[in-house]
Amino acid sequence: MELSQRGLELIQQFEGLRLRAYLDSTGVPTIGYGSTQGVQMGDEITETDALALLAADCDRFEDAVRGLVNVRLNQNEFDALVAFSFNVGAAALRDSTLLRKLNAGAPRTEVADEFLRWTYAGGRHLDGLERRREAERTLFLTPVDEDHHWLDETKRVPRA
């Protein structure tokens, strides 16, 4: 399973696009659509570069979700988990109560409520994280259209 266009747009919406490196809310140098690997203050990129970094980051977090989740997911659940791990990191997902409950077969609403606990960065509650977690929770709980199969090849995000 790969991130759908809907999941990609959720990530882009909340990350925003910045073509010059900046410090995120926890002091980590960040660029593009939330990319942090190898970023140094003073770095500048093009929008094309930002999209390439985003695709690579999405691949990495898709792999993380596929490797950590041992239950069947629909596309919306997968997208929400990729968006979540994109923001908090794969290690945070790995160690989360959210993942533990999901893999233990807890009701999906109980799992989804765990998203709402992740609204702090750098020890501060952030309204933006609250909105993001609500969006991830909503996506996680959104039923997949009847026409949308568990893995619909037509919904894949094009890779450069």
Looking at residue 122, which CATH number applies to its domain? 1.10.530.40
The rounded distance, in Å, linking the Cα atoms of 136 and 123 is 21
Tell me, yes or no, whether 159 lies in a domain.
no
Instruction: Please report the pLDDT score of residue 145 as a whole number.
Output: 77
The rounded distance, in Å, linking the Cα atoms of 80 and 7 is 7
Active site residue 15: yes
Q: Which candidate in 2, 15, 114, 136 is catalytic?
A: 15
Confidence (pLDDT) at 43: 98
Distances (CA, A) of 97 to 52, 85, 102, 146: 32, 13, 8, 30
- Asked, for residue 150, whether it belongs to a domain, the answer is no
**Cβ-contact 140, 111 below 8 angstroms:** yes
Q: What is the pLDDT of residue 25?
A: 87
pLDDT by 10-residue block (mean), the chain, 160 residues:
96 97 94 96 98 97 98 97 97 98 98 97 93 98 68 40
User: What domain count does the chain have?
Assistant: 1
Question: Is residue 95 included in any domain, yes or no?
Answer: yes
d(CA 99, CA 104): 8
User: 65: domain range?
Assistant: 5-145
pTM for the full predicted model: 0.88
Determine, yes or no, domain membership for 139. Answer: yes
Residue 152's pLDDT is what? 38
E strands, 17-92, where? 18-23, 29-32
In a domain? residue 28: yes
